[in-house]
A and B are shown apart, each in its own frame.
Chain A
Amino acid sequence: MYELTKVIKDYHRGREVVHALAGVDLDITDGEWLAIQGPTGHGKSTLLQMLGGLDRPTSGSVVLEGKDLAGLRESEITAIRANAIGFIFQTFNLIPTLSAQENVEAALVPLGVSTADRRAMAASALEGVGLGDRLRHLPSQLSGGQQQRVAIARALVKEPMVLLADEPTGNLDEETRDDLMALLEDLWRELRLTMVIVTHDSAVARRAQRIAVMRAGKLAIKQDTRPAPAA
């Protein structure tokens, strides 16, 4: 699925150069669940942005399904994001003026889905995350856990290949976190998603097949529980 080779990302902060990613090599297989842990400011989110095509590496390659995201035009990367990648953010990032259903529909807009189909698909996705009775609710009328469920529905309604989640449980209490992670795990299994979750929470990370740790822009695999490939 993903093949990252010597990915370097430098930022300029005034005259200072910050090496957010200092040569990351990583392969992510189809249907894998990878958790990335590490201290704040060591490059976890930067790595997630590279995987999602939200930013380009300074050097190195980020290959998704045979295409190097670093070499694609902006419109091509936008199309990949629209079709193949779902995002979940720590702060949910729902559009405050749109209802739960409309927020989910927003993910289908770039795909040119008709209004009627959009509504039906959004309603179905929300029912899938247990919010079938909250379609018309605005984000401000939902709890944190419900908002994150809407975000999950929005990420998955277009049936992406990859789900990228940045601290998806960071703003939730333990009970809600566990409910949400159980939901994500079910969806991962059901939809055979490739899932990458950045998290500080070891309880969340432990659910993944592999755990990688980012430290000073470098990535190290800490745990790998993937089943051995068939001989």
Chain B
Amino acid sequence: MFATYLRRELRRRSRQVVLIALGLALGVGLVITVTAASTGVKNAQAAVLHSLYGVGTDITVTQAPAAGTGGPGGFGFGLNRGTRTRPAPGTKFTSDRLNPGQLAPLADSAVTKIARLNGVAAATGSLTLTDVSISGTIPSFGGSAGASGGSASGGTPGSGGRGFITPNVFGVAGVNLTQGAIGPLSSGKITAGRTFTSADASANVAVVDANYAAQHKLKVGSTVAIGGSTGKSTSFTVIGLVSTASGSGSDVYIPLLRAQQLSGLTGKVNTIYVAAASATEIGGVSKQISTVLPKATVTTASSLAGQVTGSLASAASLANSLGRWLAIAVLVAAFALAVLLTISAVSRRVREFGTLKALGWRSRRVVGQVMGESLLVGLIGGIVGIGLGLVGASLVNAFTQPLTAAVGPTTGSATPGGSRVFGGAGQFGGSPGAGPGSAFRRLASSQTVTVHLTADVTATVIIAAVLLAILGGLIAGGFGSWRAARLRPAAALAKIA
């Protein structure tokens, strides 16, 4: 009787049922779409952070150089360095230097200190370096040789020499081979060859970023020249290619020991990667690190996320603010519509319910009938809403342009993998020790990553949506039932007097 009565009643007021179900479906569909888009944005953010930061890494520790320091000396073209003697015009020169950029070196012992802190699962150090090589011929002009490479304020390299020098700049990372799970290589995927083994610690072998390799026609077995503190380069054999997110990470990865030897930073690192024992301990570990290394910049994934800008940030803002509120507004409107129409339907059935009560139906049976009808309508709305939500998510996937994200601007900061400002060390012809950011910046002040937003509808979201629709039905049915339960049979049948 319950099912028959329910089915017939819903069929009788099919228009109203369709209206309520569509309202709920619209609300549920929007919730699914917005949640899927929001999840997609979060995943995209995670992908960005993943590529910028490294898998497994929760915290990175770096330190800005003290004011007035700029790392090891600039280029003297290898010719009578430190003298004012002008090389003869036509003299060929070449120099290949490996500089720590704007990150101050930290002692290896800092890694050990951090690794011993409470809540730290693992810690490893790396050297993030910049290889700057230049070569050319001394022209015949009247300027001083020391200034021939340009100004110290970041002017065009070689502006005084009419382009006679050829610069080549790429990023080099010294990787600790004993801690592969975290560190600069952890976010990469080997696409050719192999990665490092512990036997490579002292070897001249390199893993090269796949994009960089493609640009410079490098493959496994090729050699890549990496400079040193003396200006002379060393050949490294490429043993593998690694794919990282666009534009992220270094270009060439070499064993940490070799990076330390070449850069003259023996026993030093300039980026420490830390994995916390659990997500809840990241904050506590950060504080401890700040205590142990008061001058260090401690960066967590969340603080890095706060620096993400670009269309990804806009999409996140859109999904989290406008989308969420729109979904809530539609859902509330749908619930209100369902409640009003259900109460209206109960009001029109006053005599019917009064008759049933006169026949001996208990109030709870009448209430159950109303609740059952509302729940079924809610369920229909939920199922249709899932369909709408899937369509909405598909539309998001189909029409969303690739999103870009950048971390920065962080001039002077030491965000790992973020804004990489090259200066201080190795200014072209400038005086060494001019401080960070004074001479040469790499292409842009912030690092940009392109990601594709995928609005995935998960089973959890679908279950939550169905529950939401059922909740809508329960609320509507609750109000309707409350009205039906309060009905006194005599009042319901009063019209027959």
Contacts and interface: CB of A to CB of B under 8 A. Distances in A.
Given A97-B9, A97-B11, A81 B496 contact: no
B83 to A, nearest CB: 106
Contacts of A93: 351-352, 354-355, 358, 493, 496
A28 B1 CA distance: 35
A68 B101 CA distance: 98
Nearest to B7: A97
Given A54-B493, A89-B496, A97 B360 contact: no
A109 B363 CA distance: 13
Contact of B359 (A40, A75, A79, A154): A154
Contacts of A105: 1
Nearest to B10: A97
A82 B497 contact: no
Contacts of B318: none
Interface string B338-362: 0000000000000110111111111
B363 to A, nearest CB: 8
A87 B497 contact: no
B358 A81 contact: yes
Contacts of B356: 95, 106
A29 interface: no
Nearest to A151: B355
Contact of B362 (A45, A78, A97, A115): A78
A107 interface: yes
Contacts of B352: 93, 95-96
Given A95-B352, A97-B12, A55 B490 contact: yes
A45 B497 CA distance: 5
A24 B497 CA distance: 18
A96 B355 CA distance: 12
B12 A82 contact: no
Nearest to A91: B496
Chain B contact-residue range equals 20 to 34
A176 interface: no
Contacts of B9: 97
A32 interface: no
A46 B12 contact: no
Interface string A28-52: 0000000000001000111001001
B369 to A, nearest CB: 10
B420 to A, nearest CB: 73
A44 B357 contact: no
A44 B494 CA distance: 12
B365 interface: yes
Given A44-B497, A95-B5, A105-B1, A110 B362 contact: yes
B483 interface: no
A109 B358 contact: no
Given A44-B497, A105-B1, A166-B496, A97 B8 contact: yes
Interface in A107-139: 107, 109-111, 115, 118
A64 interface: no
A85 to B, nearest CB: 8
Contacts of A5: none
B278 interface: no
B490 A109 contact: no
Contacts of B365: 109-110
Interface in B232-286: none
A49 B5 contact: no
Given A82-B359, A87-B358, A97 B496 contact: no
A81 B360 contact: yes
A87 B488 CA distance: 16
Contacts of B359: 81-82, 87, 106-107, 109-110, 154
B489 interface: yes
A209 interface: no
A87 B365 CA distance: 19
A45 B360 contact: no
Contact of A49 (B360, B361, B490): B490
B4 interface: yes
Given A52-B358, A102-B4, A107-B360, A45 B12 contact: no
B358 A54 contact: yes
Nearest to A86: B359
Contact of B361 (A40, A52, A109, A118): A109
A98 interface: yes
A155 B467 CA distance: 41
21 contacts: A40-B497, A45-B496, A54-B488, A78-B357, A81-B357, A81-B358, A82-B359, A82-B360, A87-B355, A91-B495, A93-B352, A98-B5, A98-B8, A102-B4, A105-B1, A109-B361, A110-B360, A110-B365, A111-B360, A166-B496, A166-B497
Interface of A: 40, 44-46, 49, 52, 54-55, 74-75, 78-79, 81-83, 87, 89-91, 93, 95-98, 102, 105-107, 109-111, 115, 118, 154, 166-167
Closest 3 CB pairs of A and B: A82-B360, A45-B497, A97-B8
Given A109-B359, A118-B1, 12 more contacts: A45-B496, A52-B358, A55-B489, A78-B362, A91-B496, A93-B355, A95-B352, A95-B356, A102-B4, A105-B1, A106-B1, A166-B497
